[in-house]
Structure 1
């Protein structure tokens, strides 16, 4: 990506405020073999460029005074509540010096994985970018991560992906950090919890029903027996006197 910058001759809070009032953004370029240089940029052009992911993670070509410089965006300061860029920092790039950058991760293929298609799990990215070290010529705009091999109960670690040629990950003491985790959905967990409860409730219901049925039959027989015993024997009719 290319952008145009202009040399800035004045510095200080007052000078920066005057630049912002006329639609400019103050900035600085440092690093490499040259001295730090004050610059200014058109605010609207910079605002739209900052919305693009590549502007934050790739080598930029800065046109300054008719010369082209390769730089990296290093810092952006925004106004607390206005849509305004207060200040911007760029670093010159040396082709023979390794860079330390944050590069975004682009995840793909999660919908085709067994974890999602078969087991209906949720795929949660743990990190969205990765610290890397490489030469400027090897700097990727992003790193693509294939999630089609995810399975239930597993996680994707740094060692499970292939980094671009010449790129090394900077893990800050964690040799194999987790990039993506697979989580069982709430509906699946509820169904799994309900199954053992239903299985345990069925024998209990059968055991409760059996004594009730037995007790009902005994009670019926007990009521019938006294009734039969209490019935008096039929007497022959008395003979009529003449």
Structure 2
């Protein structure tokens, strides 16, 4: 993971709802940066709405170390939370956490489902891919934080279910939910059977496939 994003910020001197609304009308987004060494205090910031909105359109922005320039200094941080307006989806407030490459974080990363067009259960048996998760929370050092996690569905059979424990993770990365125990091993994706398919139909299909291989 690299620090490919840079944001320019200013220290926010005035707090409160009224001040925040005024900043937004002027094209700024209130933000806060916190964490780091124990003696580091949170700092209120403002960011240009246009610059932040442009960065938020990039999937990688959510899982990369960011450089935030504040005056003549810079901070390394990751985005922890973004609040948006319900109507237009514009950023209203952003939370950043100061980090180093060895900082351990809990962060949600997207799942990329690959080879859906090659899934035999869909192409040959009429199955339907059902996604039950689009992202997962990982625990790792910032330097190991993946941009996304791939889920290959090419070889999934009709009725198959992939759980969190089936995901292939990069070195140094664990799934936060699985760290809580086996009961948190929830489904991620499954191949639903088409309407009208029962066990007898499946047996016939299996027998026909076996005969064709003899």
Give the shorter-chain TM-score range.
0.7 to 0.9
Name the TM-score, length of structure 1 as normaliser.
0.72
Name 1:10's counterpart in structure 2: 14
Residue 41 (structure 1) aligned to one of 44, 47, 51: 47
Taking a change above 3 Å as real, the CA distance of residues 160 and 75 of structure 1, as seen in their structure-2 partners, is closer
Aligned mates of 2:91, 2:121 — CA distance in 1: 43
Q: Which has the higher contact order (CA 8 A, sep 6+)?
A: 2
Superposition pairs of residues 1-242 of structure 1, within 5 angstroms: 1-33=5-37, 34-171=40-177, 172-173=180-181, 174-186=183-195, 189=196
Distance 1:154 1:12 in 2: 52
Provide Cα deviations, 1:120-158, integer angstroms capped at 9, x if missing partner: 200111111111100011000101111111011211122
Look up the match of 1:220: none
- The CA deviation at 1:85 is 2.3
| Shift, 1:95, TM fit | 2.9
Query: Rg bigger for which structure?
Result: 1
Which structure has the highest helix share of the two? 1
SS in 1 for 2:47: strand
Q: Over aligned residues, Cα RMSD in angstroms?
A: 2.0
Structure 1 residue runs without a partner (length 5+): 196-242
**Does the CA contact (< 8 Å) of 1:123 and 1:181 recur in 2?**
yes
Deviant stretches of 4+, over 4 Å = none
TM-fit CA distance, 1:99: 0.7
SS of 1:115's partner is helix
Taking a change above 3 Å as real, the CA distance of residues 126 and 68 of structure 1, as seen in their structure-2 partners, is same
> TM-score, length-normalised on structure 2?
0.81
User: Which structure has more strand as a fraction of its residues?
Assistant: 2
In structure 2, C-alpha distance between the alignment counterparts of 1:37 and 1:63, rounded to whole Å = 13
Shift of 1:61: 1.6
CA displacement at 1:55 relative to structure 2:
1.7
Q: Which runs of 5+ in 2 are unaligned?
A: 202-214
